[in-house]
A and B are shown apart, each in its own frame.
Chain A
Amino acid sequence: GQQVMQIPQYQHVQEGEDFTTYCNSSTTLSNIQWYKQRPGGHPVFLIQLVKSGEVKKQKRLTFQFGEAKKNSSLHITATQTTDVGTYFCAGQGAGSYQLTFGKGTKLSVIP
């Protein structure tokens, strides 16, 4: 079945440093979504990427979808303490209803 790998599993950064998490699928995706889960909270939708090579920005967050539609990345510029949480990518395979989540990258920001 479809597998979605995410690295790193953990990342500790000083406030103000940049952060990147990478997502890789075993199969070509029709779309990829990114979610953020605060400690003790539930996943909250951030963005969806559909097109090959697509790049989207939300303030300090930049999302990319690879040309082959098998990988994606989330980059946060100048992290803040409010960025703390676990970031999940979730991919949907072509012709599938199912959204497969990665294991997530847990971000800690040291003030």
Chain B
Amino acid sequence: EAGVAQSPRYKIIEKRQSVAFWCNPISGHATLYWYQQILGQGPKLLIQFQNNGVVDDSQLPKDRFSAERLKGVDSTLKIQPAKLEDSAVYLCASSLDKASGTDTQYFGPGTRLTVL
């Protein structure tokens, strides 16, 4: 079974530029999560989708971050414009079904973003 795919793996941009990350969850997984992991910290949930609907985006900085999952499969996370403090690893995870979050989450390899 293929795991969660993410691209790109690394991205370096200058502040005020925009960037987009892509995630393809495990086939059949209804729930998709985007996390931000700053160096030395645990992952922080940015947004959670159940199919193509948003379940939780309370910690998403909506003035600069946006995410979509139009067909309930792939998802993109965008930052526009980027700030220095956005430097982090952006992790995508998926789980089989439950929006409740009690289902096992499978993480992708992440995208390491460096903002200069």
Are A99 and B45 neighbours in the complex by a CB distance under 8 Å? Answer: yes
Are B102 and A92 neighbours in the complex by a CB distance under 8 Å? Answer: yes
A-B contact count (CB 8 A): 55
Q: How far is the CA of A53 from the CA of B41 in the complex (A)?
A: 27
Among the listed A6, A43, A48, which residue makes an inter-chain contact with B91, where contact means beta carbons less than 8 Å apart?
Answer: A43
Q: How far is the CA of A88 from the CA of B99 in the complex (A)?
A: 21
Residues from 55 to 111 in A contacting B, C-beta threshold 8 Å: 88, 90, 92, 96-104
Are B40 and A103 neighbours in the complex by a CB distance under 8 Å? Answer: yes
Report B-chain residues with C-beta under 8 Å of the C-beta of A99. 45, 101, 105
Interface size class of B (residues with CB under 8 A): 20 to 34
Shortest distance between the CB of A54 and any CB in chain B (Å): 14
Give the dominant DSSP class at B's interface: loop
Q: How far is the CA of A43 from the CA of B89 in the complex (A)?
A: 12
Interface size, chain A (Cβ < 8 Å): 24
Residues of A within 8 A of B (CB): 4, 6, 30-31, 33, 41-45, 48, 50, 88, 90, 92, 96-104
Residues of B within 8 A of A (CB): 40-45, 48, 55-56, 58-59, 91, 99-102, 104-110
16 A-B pairs, CB-CB below 8 angstroms? A31-B102, A33-B104, A41-B109, A43-B43, A44-B107, A45-B105, A48-B102, A48-B104, A88-B42, A92-B101, A92-B102, A97-B56, A98-B56, A101-B43, A103-B42, A104-B41
